[in-house]
Amino acid sequence: MALCKLLGQNSKVKLGIFTDVHGDLLSLQKVLTTLEKLGVDALICLGDLVVHGQRPNAVVDLVRTLQIPTVGGNHDHGALHYGRDPNLVFFNPKSELHTALTQPLLSAENQAFLADLPELIQPAPSVTGVHAGYRDRYALLYAPINVEHLFADAPTPITLCGHTHRTRMHRLDAGGMLQEVDPWQEQDDTWTGELNCAEYRYILNCGNTSQLLYDRLPSVCGVLDTAASTITWKRVF
């Protein structure tokens, strides 16, 4: 697996963000349509293209065709290495079952694509995208220690991630004061927050694309506008 893919040195970008598709083609199509309408300059996918949904090849085919820079997620890795890697982690029995069912469905081309996904991507000088964490593809940000590790390991002021299926903004100031923001507490389907990288470091967790999982959360996509210094999260129905 490649360690990093750098998209370019342009510091001014309107970046469309999505993650955790999990084989849900219909939700992916809705999210991509939404991001196109929002006028993004580029796209990034934060991993977990496959497992759980029944259209893994169609999802990977679409991402490959559109040449969307994508980081490898834990389910992408699991679908490739199930039965061969003793260190795979499954959070519940259904996750393991769906991984086992997905593996034989994947075409040779899509297996090769998933195997080549990098562990991180830098779409702009101040931004890095990972699936879960820099040191652990399974790290859940529910645990404070994982948030600490991610901030400690981050090579840039802004880290984009997915994995937890919960949209959040974590903000850390120079004095070590940490704030966690749940954008959906405001009872709206669109939320925009200002970013000040001179005073804070950020973890921006997009949420999920798939609506096929047990939590049935709405799809979420994001727009990181580095020129305006804002992050916008949008629910997609």
Domain ranges (residues) in the chain: 4-49+62-70+117-236
Q: At what angle do helices 108-115 and 74-81 cross, to 10 degrees?
A: 130
Render pLDDT for 59-85 as a digit per residue (tens, 0 to 9).
999 999 999 999 999 999 999 999 999
Q: What is the pLDDT of residue 214?
A: 63
Token pair listed for 127: 């931004």
Q: What is the pLDDT of residue 2?
A: 42
Q: Is 37 helix (H, G, I), strand (E, B) or coil?
A: helix
Which residues of the chain register pLDDT less than 70? 1-11, 214-215
The strand pairing partners of 180, in sequence order, are: 170
Q: What is the pLDDT of residue 187?
A: 84
Between β-strands 200-205 and 127-129, what pairing exists: parallel, antiparallel or unpaired? unpaired
Instruction: Write down the pTM of the prediction.
Output: 0.94
DSSP string, 48-109: --SSSSS-HHHHHHHHHHHT--BPPPHHHHHHHHTTT-TT---SSHHHHHHHHHHGGGS-HH
Burial class from Cβ neighbours inside 10 Å (0-12, 13-18, 19+) for residue 92 reads exposed
Q: What is the pLDDT of residue 213?
A: 76
Neighbouring residues of 166: CB distance < 8 A, sequence distance ≥ 6: 141, 182, 205, 207, 217
DSSP string, 184-204: GGG--SEEEEE--TTTEEEEE
Report the side by side order of strands in the sheet with 190-194.
Answer: 42-45, 14-18, 219-225, 230-236, 190-194
Do residues 168 and 181 lie in contact, with contact meaning Cβ atoms separated by under 8 Å?
A: yes
Whole-Å CA distances, 46 to 30, 86, 94, 219: 17, 24, 22, 14
Token pair listed for 21: 């598709």
| Domain 4-49+62-70+117-236 homologous superfamily, CATH | Metallo-dependent phosphatases (3.60.21.10)
Question: Containing H/E element for 145?
Answer: helix 144-153
Q: What is the pLDDT of residue 35?
A: 97
Q: What is the pLDDT of residue 217?
A: 83
Give the integer Cα–Cα distance in Å for 76 and 97. 14
